[in-house]
Amino acid sequence: MNKPHQIKIVLVEPSHPGNIGAAARAAKTMCIENLVLVNPEDFPSGEARARSTGAIDVLERAMVCQTLQEAIADCTFVVGSSARQRGLQCPEISPDKLGAKVWQELEQGNVAIVFGRESSGLTNEELDQCHYLTTIPANWEFSSLNLASAVQVICYEIYNAFLKRSSDGALVNGSTEEPAQGVSDPLATVEQLENLFGHMQQVLHEIEFFDPKQPKLLMRRLRHLYSRARPTLVETNILRGILSAVQKVKRQTKSLD
């Protein structure tokens, strides 16, 4: 599975070290070896090592971060895995379609699949950082899988899509696919988009369109809009240039008041 970019399995605040080890093992069986742990409750730990069996190397190389934003900063495609449907949420993608999409997206940048806490899953703010939400079809009365089992199913779909592409010749002969968007400019990373959202919020506040005391859903809706558009770095820089121009005019008018 030689690709220029990486697939990261991100576990947000896992509380049971055994699940971390089992998730490392699950991912490695499917040839995915980049594990990222956001604020784990107990890591490194003997229990994680014991449950990882032959995947201790994956645990030893696991990156530990304090926030989800840090974990996915260098990614251009992020998918949240959730057992539950939410109110205002990003578009959904089924696990099998996700498998194929991941390989297409890897042509353009790093990909992260994000898994939530054992107790409460992912928060809305965390899901807002994702391009898609994926849900493993399960018993509608009992749909929450164990964390490592969910990692296993999603990694299986990704690996299975790799095998299908290989047998179709797409990967064997090098990339024969169009980039995901049909554009040649590199996509903006999560970090570059976060800088855009921060700048946008500041300008919307300065022009009194956004009230931080009554934020409602404005910034979340704008996030979803830009997330669907998949802006390139050049496009992100144009938007930031427009924001800076608005700020300049606003500040000039203010100084005339």
Task: Please identify which residue in 30, 55, 90, 150 interacts with ligand SAH, judged by CB under 6 A.
Answer: 150
Sheet holding 110-115, edge to edge: 63-65, 34-38, 7-12, 110-115, 75-81, 132-134
Task: Please identify which residue in 118, 185, 191, 235 interacts with ligand SAH, judged by CB under 6 A.
Answer: 118
- Closest to ligand SAH by CB, 29 or 135: 135
Quick one: which segment of 138-146, 173-181, 203-211, 233-241 binds ligand SAH (CB under 6 A)? 138-146
- Separation of alpha carbons 118 and 147, rounded Å: 6
Task: Please identify which residue in 122, 127, 190, 204 interacts with ligand SAH, judged by CB under 6 A.
Answer: 122
Does the footprint of ligand SAH cover residue 116 (CB under 6 A)? yes
Count of residues engaged in binding ligand SAH, rule: CB under 6 A: 18
Task: Please identify which residue in 1, 83, 183, 222 interacts with ligand SAH, judged by CB under 6 A.
Answer: 83
Does the footprint of ligand SAH cover residue 143 (CB under 6 A)? yes
**40: preceding bond cis by omega (within 30 degrees):** no
- Closest to ligand SAH by CB, 7 or 203: 7
Task: Please identify which residue in 48, 130, 147, 155 interacts with ligand SAH, judged by CB under 6 A.
Answer: 147
- Separation of alpha carbons 38 and 51, rounded Å: 19
Cβ 35 to ligand SAH, closest distance in Å? 14
Nearest to 6 by CA among 71, 82, 96: 71
Does the footprint of ligand SAH cover residue 123 (CB under 6 A)? no
Does the footprint of ligand SAH cover residue 88 (CB under 6 A)? no
179 to 15, 101, 131, 175, 176: CA distances (angstroms): 38, 11, 17, 9, 9
218 to 88, 132, 156, 210, 215: CA distances (angstroms): 11, 19, 37, 8, 6
Helix %, strand %, coil % of the chain (to 5): 50, 15, 40
Does the footprint of ligand SAH cover residue 20 (CB under 6 A)? no
Does the footprint of ligand SAH cover residue 17 (CB under 6 A)? no
Question: Rounded to 5 degrees, what are φ and ψ at 93?
Answer: -140, 135
Cβ 156 to ligand SAH, closest distance in Å? 13
Task: Please identify which residue in 3, 84, 86, 97 interacts with ligand SAH, judged by CB under 6 A.
Answer: 84
Quick one: which segment of 20-28, 75-83, 188-196, 231-239 binds ligand SAH (CB under 6 A)? 75-83
- Separation of alpha carbons 170 and 111, rounded Å: 19
Does the footprint of ligand SAH cover residue 41 (CB under 6 A)? no
- Closest to ligand SAH by CB, 15 or 167: 15
Q: Which residue ranges make up the site for ligand SAH (CB under 6 A)?
A: 81-84, 115-116, 118, 120-122, 135-136, 138, 143-145, 147, 150
